[in-house]
Structure 1
Amino acid sequence: MRELSLIGIGTGNPDHLTAEAARAINAADLILLPRKGADKVDLADLRREILARVLVNPAAQVVEFDLPQRDAAHPDYRAGVEGWHDAIALAWARTADVPGADHVALLVWGDPSLYDSSLRIAARLPGPPRVRVIPGITAVQALAAAHAMPLNAIGAPFMVTTGRRLRDDGFPPGCDTCVVMLDGTCSFRSLPPAGLSIWWGAYLGMEAQILDHGPLAEAGPRILNARAAARARHGWIMDIYLLRRA
């Protein structure tokens, strides 16, 4: 592998794919398609649909592989993530060990720059290869578009954080708006709801998209119920939300 293209594909709508991303897909010798288990087959199917739409290079190979799973019970979160990234890099290298596969591509959910570890994993590859990034629509952008709202107040900052940090550290100081990603436990429940509003979305960009918003005290319980029902129905969920102080 001499070159690796990390191609942002957006949050679930094949129409999110840019013309630049389509060109990068067709320039690759080999396209790696990760499988994340039976409960997340929708994610692999979306990548297959994108390739069916735009891949016209007959010389390009598509190889699927099973993505290693992170040990969520590891006592040291950082060490557990580092070991997981090592395992993924090894899976990439082994799967890409195909004669003539000098230029390899990976379709990355959202964008490689935001709460995605593809760039850190790529740095662990032998060589390492030259890395090219093709940007994609992030879940943050998709959430704001779905609710037809600006992310920031006039001249004001906002913060993007994780559910774990919100739960451990509370609402971020120094701003009135925060976007929360990677929250599997609905950490907004740990906040005093007075004066807070929430804008939530799940499966953004997909046919299964769900939205809700309102004062946290009122919308929070609705979101908990909708999230649990959706996860039971689909077997997985990807969601994000914005919190704003009055």
Structure 2
Amino acid sequence: MIDLALVGIGTGDPAHLTLQAIRALNRADLILIPRKGADKADLAQLRRAILDEVLTNPETRIGTFDLPVRDAARADYRAGVDDWHDAIAATWAAAIAAQPAVKRVALLIWGDPGLYDSSLRIAARLSPPPRIDVIPGITAIQALTAAHAIPLNEIGAPFVVTTGRRLRDEGWPPGVDTVVVMLDGECSFRHLDPDGIEIWWGAFLGMAQAITLAGPLAGTAPRIVAARAEARTRHGWIMDVYLLRRRPARPGLPPE
């Protein structure tokens, strides 16, 4: 049985790492870094740059593995994700087995391991099951609100964190005026009636190439679509997140 540390590393800035994360990385016998293809090579390089800054244990080894690709065209989305997770777990196991005398393994998890990340579900598929240590990290949501200097929620009000797929298929979630959208590769905010909605968007948050845009959805949406397309073409990939806030109607006043 191995000890597996899932270490939240924030959104690209080495300063996002907590002391707990740095200690966990330096306790590891092996740190695994995924390779996601040539167009995302800088993600692996960024992980290595983080390790160059915080890793002080000369005994810690760094290994790599090729991340399996999910079949995005599969009609049964959940079944496709399950098969993908099985493949990733098998790849983790093979990468660990290829290294001698490994007892403590660490994986650098973008953002936080507990928010829209599947590393915990994948780790549960390993056999024998490892002892898991989760190190929390700064999420993309925190990085977004910090970049725009805005609060996540209104006073005493709830908010919803959802995906682009659900926003596109189901519309605005009921009962809330604030929605955070993650995992949206299609700018699903374009499917909403923009009247009375503001958006705060960010891409590559925590990195040198960070981009932020904000304003009323009607006028800002086209700017985001254009900026996102240009950045994706330039870098070969993009990570972005956005917050939508609907201004509630005020009794006695006409709509804005």
What TM-score results when the alignment is normalised by the length of structure 2?
A: 0.95
Answering whether residue 38 of structure 2 is matched by residue 50 of structure 1, we say no
Match in the other structure for 2:89: 89
**1:104, distance to aligned residue in structure 2 (A):** 0.6
State the identity as a percent: 69
1:40 aligns with 2:37: no
- Find the counterpart in structure 2 of residue 108 from structure 1: 109
User: Does the CA-based 8 Å contact 1:14-1:46 persist in structure 2?
Assistant: no
3-state SS, counterpart of residue 47 of structure 1: helix
Q: Residue 32 of structure 1 aligns to a residue in which SS?
A: strand
Distance (Å, rounded) in 2 between the aligned partners of 1:13 and 1:132: 22
Q: Which has the higher Rg, Structure 1 or Structure 2?
A: 2
Equivalents in 2 of 1:105, 1:12: separation in Å?
A: 17
The correspondence of residues 1-246 of structure 1 with structure 2, limited to 5 A, is: 1-97=1-97, 98-246=99-247
Paired with 2:127 and 2:121, the residues of 1 have a C-alpha distance of 13
Structure 2 CA distance for aligned equivalents of residues 42 and 190 of structure 1: 32
Deviations 1:166-186 (CA, angstroms, capped at 9, x unpaired)? 001101101000000000000
State the SS of the aligned residue for 1:127. coil
**How many residue pairs get matched?**
246
The one-letter amino acid paired with 1:133 is V
Distance in 1, Cα, partners of 2:239 & 2:168: 18
Stretches of 4+ moved more than 6 A in 1? Answer: none
Offset, 1:2:
1.5
Q: Which amino acid aligns with 1:182?
A: L
For structure 1, the residue ranges without an aligned partner over 5 or more in a row are none
Q: Distance in 2 between matches of 1:205 and 1:59?
A: 29
Normalised TM-score (structure 1): 0.99
* RMSD value, Cα: 0.7
2-structure distance, mates of 1:9, 1:36: 18
Distance 2:151 2:53 in 1: 32
Q: How far 1:190 moved relative to its partner?
A: 0.5
Please state how far the C-alpha of 1:230 moved relative to its aligned partner: 0.5
Instruction: Summarize deviations over 1:67-116 as a string: whole Å, max 9, x none.
Output: 11111111110000000000000000000012210111000000000000
Amino acid at match of 1:62: I
Segments of structure 2 that go 5 or more residues without pairing to the other structure are 248-256
2:10 maps to amino acid: G
Q: Cα offset for 1:60?
A: 1.1
